[in-house]
Chain A
Amino acid sequence: MTTILVIEDDVQTSREIEAALVDYGYETRTAFTGRDGLVKAISDPYDAIVLDRMLPGDLDGLGVLAALRAAGIHAPVLILSALTAVDERVRGLKAGGDDYLTKPFDFLELTARLDVLLRRRNAPITESVLRAGPLEVDLLTHTVRRHGQLVDLLPREYRLLEYLVRNAGQVVTRTMLFEEIWHYRYDEPTNLIDVHVSKLRRKIDTAGEPSVIQTVRGSGYVLNAAG
């Protein structure tokens, strides 16, 4: 079972995160201080770590991260922080964090990002053609086929689909899509991602059949790997 270490000093927030992760099917351990978190992370192997940026005491989130990396622990780390400034985000990622989520956050956003981190770690993609259900995405020629039929996509539609296929079967949020496809970072701009996905659906779906891309209410999308 996938085990996640949650290092968060606020007891209530920590409980909520744990509950969300357990509901999602992860096993969790908790630490309330940086020092305790560091000891736990070094003592036992974890698949991923959720780390609060601001921790009480002499060891804050970035200190824990630096110590973890120095100790040779390379589990993916998702940083949680109330500090929204971009340079804070950059500092977190530069210190060795793999992703950064600002408070308040949606728990689905948290689990979706953890999923992506874990997948990236567990299954590095080496093949040049990705398959999900009826879809085939050729990473070399940037072409897409559905049931073997070529689908004509605009470059941004291709990038959108490729990301969804790479993370087939798991939820990706609008914010994740915006950051990954357009490479700009700020709070979810509008519901425009919905419009882009809708255009993509029209091109890859077949009339009368359920859409390959399912909407997850209020949060994002999931590409149905089984088709």
Chain B
Amino acid sequence: MRLADLSKTTSFRLAIAFLALFGLASLTLFAFISWEVKGFLSNRVDEWVQREGKVLSRLDATALAQRLDNRQRDDATTERPITLYDPAGKVLAGSPVPFPAGHDSATAPFEFGHGSHLPMAPFRGLTWRLPTGQTLLVAQSVDELNEFGDVLLGAMLLAGGVTTVLGLVGAILIGAGAVRQLDDITKATRTIVKGDLSGRLPMRGSGDVGRLVAVVNEMLDELQRLMNEVKGVCDNIAHEMRTPLTRLLAGLDRSRRRSSSTADYAESVDEAIAETQGILKTFGALLRISEIEDGARRAGFIDVDLGAIVTDAVEFYEPLADDRNITISALFEGETASSSRGDPSLLFEAFANLIDNAIKFTPAGGSVEVRLVRSGSADVVSVSDSGPGISEADRIMVLKRFYRAEPSRHEPGNGLGLSLVAAIARLHDMDMVIEGPPGCRIVLTRNRSEKASPVEICDF
């Protein structure tokens, strides 16, 4: 850790800023107290000087001199000197304090005697010019007052010094802690950036940074899950594409080796085109699932009539059901007309996929029923058939891309139909539940009372 790094940390800078702010506030407080106390004491001196001077100046010259001499005899200290001077400034009586030159006709208390050889100097006092031409000086030493100021200043400097040192040490400690934490986070982040998505940022305490670290770690959990999912999907795609691509390659290779007539070549080309179309269809379905899961299609939602879409889907499949001797019916319960927001093409596709599966797995003579139950609280669309149903173990698996349960392996398809239905259901905030056997019943429920929740990331 370098000092330069330390000075760049927010916590160090904040600590220094608070130290400066606190120092300035303390300085101002000290200055204010000092100014107020000194003013108070000075006023008291002035009051005494004025009061004493007024009384003494009223005495006649002889009594005054007598009073001052007596006072000098009783108390020889010069803490509160009172002196009588002749017109030439020579001490006639009282304390032996030199005449304060330039202040013989003062109207307000003044300070004098700085640098004087007398003890207790400097003084603060006032002079009175007496009718006899003499001058009376009444003063008080302000030495203690100045001493008090010096002590206050000393205390302030000491407190300021200690605060500064403690503040700096505190700032360095806080800054160093932050730098260490940042160093740890940077190190962990670099490891993650290099590709180790299992890495997490170090957690220290529950402060602001701690909270941020927790959120970033949650984000990394989700990213790792998504990356694993993407990897899983990529692996699945690579695996699933091997078979049709091998067929395509084998077909083309065979036509090169064996075809001898234009008709043979044409047949091979037709087979290759059909195989390629199948591959493109699979990619198309994958792209559609991805597009739907992205949630972007929510932007194109309009008011839709689920009843009309169910009717269209059932009608669309009627001829196929007839051909296979399967009874298909649409049943409606509850409110006759209620609209909700959705993408009609996607909803049709979802219902069509479910009906297609139901017809595919229902033996001849069986039945497929599409039911829409509408109430004030929910729309429920269910597609049920009299086929073998989906086993408990397969119910989660059939929602995974490319998974095909055992009975469906020999039916045409790419194993993406139910993944697509699940994605469409999630986009429309529908719960999807698979029930049975006996038979298979897939129920899509859209709760009207719940607010639309954000599209969850597909977990398969």
Q: Chain A residues in contact with chain B, CB under 8 A? A: 84-87, 90, 104, 106, 156, 182, 184-187, 189-190, 192, 195-196, 198-199, 217-218
Contacts and interface: CB of A to CB of B under 8 A. Distances in A.
A182 B351 CA distance: 14
Nearest to B294: A85
**Among A85, A189, A196, which residue has the most Cβ atoms of chain B within 10 A?**
A85
A153 to B, nearest CB: 13
B345 A186 contact: yes
Top 3 closest pairs, chain A to chain B, by CB: A195-B319, A184-B348, A184-B345
Contacts of B287: 84
A196 B319 contact: yes
A87 B317 contact: no
A192 B345 contact: no
Interface of chain A: mostly helix, strand, loop or mixed = loop
Contacts of B277: 106, 218
B274 A218 contact: yes
B288 interface: yes
A106 B323 CA distance: 29
Given A184-B344, A199-B319, A190 B270 contact: no
A192 B317 contact: yes
Interface residues of B, number: 30
B231 interface: no
Interface stretch (B15-23, B60-68, B124-132, B296-304): B296-304
Contacts of A87: 296-297, 299-300
Interface string B336-379: 00000001111011001000100000000000000000000000
Contacts of A196: 319
Interface string B284-320: 1101100100001101100000000000100111011
Given A184-B312, A218-B273, A189 B281 contact: no
Contacts of A192: 316-317, 319-320
A190 B357 CA distance: 11
B280 interface: yes
A217 B319 contact: no
B425 to A, nearest CB: 16
A190 B300 contact: no
B288 A218 contact: no
B349 A184 contact: yes
Contacts of A218: 270, 273-274, 277
Contact of A182 (B297, B299, B312, B356): B312
Given A189-B349, A217-B270, 19 more contacts: A84-B288, A84-B291, A85-B291, A85-B296, A86-B345, A182-B316, A182-B348, A184-B312, A184-B349, A186-B349, A190-B352, A192-B316, A195-B320, A196-B319, A198-B319, A199-B319, A218-B273, A218-B274, A218-B277
Contacts of A104: 280
Contacts of B284: 84, 187
B317 A186 contact: no
A199 B316 CA distance: 12
A187 B291 contact: no
Contacts of A190: 352, 356
25 contacts: A84-B284, A84-B291, A85-B297, A86-B343, A87-B296, A87-B300, A104-B280, A182-B312, A182-B316, A182-B348, A184-B344, A184-B345, A184-B348, A186-B345, A186-B348, A186-B349, A187-B281, A187-B284, A189-B352, A190-B352, A192-B317, A195-B319, A196-B319, A199-B319, A218-B274
Nearest to B291: A85
B311 to A, nearest CB: 11
A198 B323 CA distance: 11
Contacts of A186: 288, 345-346, 348-349
Nearest to B413: A190
Given A86-B300, A87-B296, A156-B315, A187 B320 contact: no
Contacts of B299: 87
A90 B312 contact: no
Contact of B297 (A86, A106, A156): A86
A187 B286 CA distance: 12
Nearest to B281: A187
A87 B345 CA distance: 12
Contacts of B345: 86, 184-186
A156 B287 CA distance: 31
A195 B323 contact: yes
B1 to A, nearest CB: 51
Contacts of A185: 345
Nearest to A103: B280
